[in-house]
Amino acid sequence: MIQIHGISKSFGNVVALQDINIEVQEGEIFGLIGPDGSGKTTLIRILTTLLLPDSGTATVMGLDVVKEYKNLRRVFGYMPGRFSLYEDLTVEENLELFASIFGTTVEANYHLIEDIYKQIEPFKSRRAGKLSGGMKQKLALSCAMIHQPKVIFLDEPTTGVDPVSRQEFWKMLKSLKKHGISIFVSTPYMDEASLCDRIALIQDGKLLSIDTPTAIVGQYEKEVYAIVSNKKHELLQDLRRYKDVESAFLFGSHIHYSDQKVSFDPRELIQYLEQLGHGEIEVDKIEPTIEDCFLALMGNANKTADA
Amino acid sequence: MQTRQPMPNEYSIDVQNLTKKFGAFTAVNEISFNTKKGEIFGFLGANGAGKSTAMKMLCGLLVPSSGQATVASFDINKESEKVKKRIGYMSQKFSLYQDLTARENIRFFGGIYGLSNKQIKEKTDELMERLHLTDFANTQVGDLPLGWKQKLAFSVAVFHGPEIVFLDEPTGGVDPVTRREFWEMIYATAKLGTTIFVTTHYMDESEYCDRVSIMVDGRIEALGSPKELKAKYHVKSMDELFLQLARPETVKIF
């Protein structure tokens, strides 16, 4: 559905993308996961024919993003990161405009957007600029879907959105997947990784890893321990000073700790912490999260860069 | 148990029945809470719950419809100009001038807050070193990576030694490593006695706070330490609690 081969892009001295290779299958939810400035938007703009790559090739639905951009623009859906509908048109007018641009009607494809659109239909005569953030999102997705695209690009649809609205948005994506639509979505939220079929982790324009979320977690080499004590603020520093520490990172109420030694004995660590005055210490072995993997991969990437 | 009247100045922020109405719409509905010196206070809520409106009132930028609040012991109704001098503020959207260099931004904000040129100069060099920014001191802020920008913005917000610093989604979009470094800066600042008032959409970050409040439809629905709140509502994580309070009918899918 989407094929990306060796795509690179620089802006002046800044390398935005470096040798990106990705294949996205039909009907897949593919997540591009990385922080701001990692290259997510640049890649999506290249795939949506809005930006030319410096080198490499990419096709979407078999159409080349550079040579066949005119044909390609008719067939994909795109929801940019910034709200880009007409704020002084009503909800209904925006939707009709998008349908007519693509030579179709709202009625012809209503079944595709019904689940999403019916939530904002009561406000259909309201100007788009007067909608709440969550409603704007639903309208933007409806407009991106109205010409029945087979593949849709969503650039950070959930950034700055509260956890509740993020969940609702992902539910909408799951329902679109049922219609056989391939979804290419970027996000800075690591916890959204598990909702994708496959993900690529991106940092500084380079892919750190690309696989299913389960496989990426499976490749994590170290054991991860969640540690908590009654001296929350000191715990992190004390763990980082421990003789065999590999890494220690804040993770909500706990600190995720990995040890250099395979033969790590938690009892030894507990003793060390007790000597430093910690009490109520708990050390539990846990499954690493995608964020643990991202942190470890980022660490490796920096080590290679320094070497 | 006898309730004790707080001494003047005991609370860095003390809010009683604070309300803001826009026409018929009540954005903030009689909220009451207080924060202690050096406390990290997480101010949570869904988009549109009233967080920004409440924060604007506390920063002296918006006049309340009713209710009282003192910030750094100054009345936000009567002494909003004094409040502004004693607080720091940063948000993801506005923090620094992108077309000024790091050094120029510091000088500008230091000057606004009435620091002398000598003070600014001394503190700037120290700050640049601490942030490992010395080589980039003369780079336009717009050309710095986001993570550095946010760390610099935070440093600028606390440069004049405010009693309270307001952080509005300071870590949105920042990479996981920098996000944690940012919180370590927050811890260090709180330890020196500055109160941190912070909003975030990352629920794992709410666990880093000493206490949090969760706003729903203009009211404070829950208030306490993350540990207390999780125990009270029988949930495992703050994420779960947030979803339960903010939109009870939403089924958890993460």
CB B159 within 8 A of CB B89: no
A19 phi, psi to nearest 5 deg: 50, 60
* pLDDT tens digits, one per residue of A65-115: 999 999 999 999 999 988 889 999 999 999 999 999 999 999 999 988 988
CATH number of this structure's domain B11-246: 3.40.50.300
Nearest to B176 among A134, A170, A291 (CB): A291
CATH number of this structure's domain A224-287: 3.30.70.100
| pLDDT computed for residue A305 by the predictor | 57
How far apart, in whole angstroms, are the C-alpha atoms of residue A200 and residue A212?
9
* pLDDT tens digits, one per residue of B107-141: 999 998 889 999 999 889 888 888 878 888 888 99
Q: Does B252 touch chain A (CB under 8 A)?
A: yes
Question: Which chain A residue is nearest to residue B49, measuring alpha carbons?
Answer: A162
Angle of helix A110-117 relative to helix A133-145, nearest 10 degrees, comes to 170
Per-residue pLDDT at B90 exceeds 70: yes
Q: Which residues contact A164 (CB under 8 A, 6 or more apart)?
A: B46, B242, B243, B246, B247, B250
**Mean pLDDT for all residues in chain B:** 88
Domain boundaries, chain A: 2-218, 224-287
Nearest to B254 among A133, A194, A203 (CB): A194
| pLDDT computed for residue B134 by the predictor | 83
Q: Which token pair is A153? A: 């690009």
Per-residue pLDDT at B6 exceeds 80: no
List of chain A residues with pLDDT < 50: 307
| pLDDT computed for residue B177 by the predictor | 86
Judged by CB atoms closer than 8 Å, whether chains meet at B238 and A251 is answered as no
| pLDDT computed for residue B9 by the predictor | 61
Q: Does A160 touch chain B (CB under 8 A)?
A: yes
Per-residue pLDDT at B252 exceeds 70: no
CATH architecture of A2-218: 3-Layer(aba) Sandwich (3.40)
* pLDDT tens digits, one per residue of B174-228: 888 888 989 989 988 998 899 999 998 888 899 999 999 999 999 999 999 999 9
